[in-house]
Structure 1
Amino acid sequence: MSDRVAVEAKVRAEVGKDLALPYNPFETLADRQCLDGRSAKDFQGDLVEYWVNLECSYCGIREPLQAQRAVPDMCIVVRHIPTDQYGESLKKALSYEALKKFSANAANLFWDKVLPQTALGIPVPYEASLLLAFQEAAIPAESFGEALADSATTIVNEDILAGYGRISITPTYVLAGIRFPSCDFTAGQLREALSIARKAREGDTAARDKVITIITNAQLNEKML
């Protein structure tokens, strides 16, 4: 069996699992924020889950943020899968969520600074990135500490539990309830993939096959769209 046939068979099975389950993200993400700081509660539009590790060089902030700004009726919710593979991934996830309580811009600035831009890139040191974010949003250290210990810890722990056994690769987008692992979409590709995923969720078999092709291509490092 060729590599492509094997990968596609596995992807087809996983997509089938996702489509067999109802998807109601508003039940679990109502207390979360969109990437641009808007509340996900009572949001009228599409909720997109963006599962990341802030030390994974492919989990960039710029393209998702561009997509979020270009499509007001889409809400991208960041979800975290920190791992032992990266030394400060948990610390960065907690800091990002704590910063977001004060300023989405400051949080996104922090993310962009601490993340390696390529597999061999060197990020700005954690402490310096955090200081820049503090200055950006004029955040008192004491208030940040409270947010870190309270809401940020709750959010990251919830994500770790929700992702266990379900999210194994970063980045992973969840579009219309379908997991898109390894899909490092550009802003334009994300909008197109969401449209295809919606059609697949509605029962369009051609769209379902297209979803399988997109994910398979991503797994094989080939052109997705």
Structure 2
Amino acid sequence: MGTLVLVEGVTCRYGSGVFAPPAPPTLRLPDITVAGGNHTLLLGPSGSGKTTLINCIAGLQGVLSGRVEVAGLNMRAMSARERDRLRGAKIGMVMQRLHLISAMTVRANLQLAQRLASHPVDNPLIEHLTQVLGIRNKLDCYPRQLSQGEAQRAAIARALVNKPALLLADEPTSALDDKNCEAAVSLLLSQAESHGATLIVATHDDRIKARFAHIVQLGAA
């Protein structure tokens, strides 16, 4: 397959909002090229730019210079609405802040993700994903009734439920014990392979690096 993700010569700034310094330091992100169907691990300690890189690929963070392309589309040239559409159509995300809707059950959160992407609700797929992740018995629970690890697994299921072409995961195993860490990584990899998806995982978790042939090492900032 051809290149699905390209990051080249990208710089951006740390910090945002009221409490940011007047001139936040500039961060230079590593150049990466990821072919469609391949799996890449972004490995590095906290503060090394992993989350920033994931956010740039997803079009959630602006850049000062360089190129960020997904599926041949220049993210810098797209409007916010166009980036939203691209994420809904092609990108599944597991972020550090899980963003589960507190007023909805796990099942309803997953169903909503399908509807927002204009996909039909696929209850058998929802049950399969949650069964593999060990949270099928939590489908009718609300996020407040879940442990941190259970909530993280629900977020992984939500990212997979639309069978995305590009799957981005930011610290997907950080709250999981060894058994559930292995289950989560296996599910991410198996689903990516089953659907020809490109998987990019950002983590500081050395437990999972043996599962990836392509590793981009990020140094401390």
So what's the TM-score if we normalise by structure 1? Answer: 0.25
Q: Relative to total residues, which structure has the larger helix share, 1 or 2?
A: 1
Q: Relative to total residues, which structure has the larger strand share, 1 or 2?
A: 2
Q: Which has the higher contact order (CA 8 A, sep 6+)?
A: 2
So what's the TM-score if we normalise by structure 2? Answer: 0.26
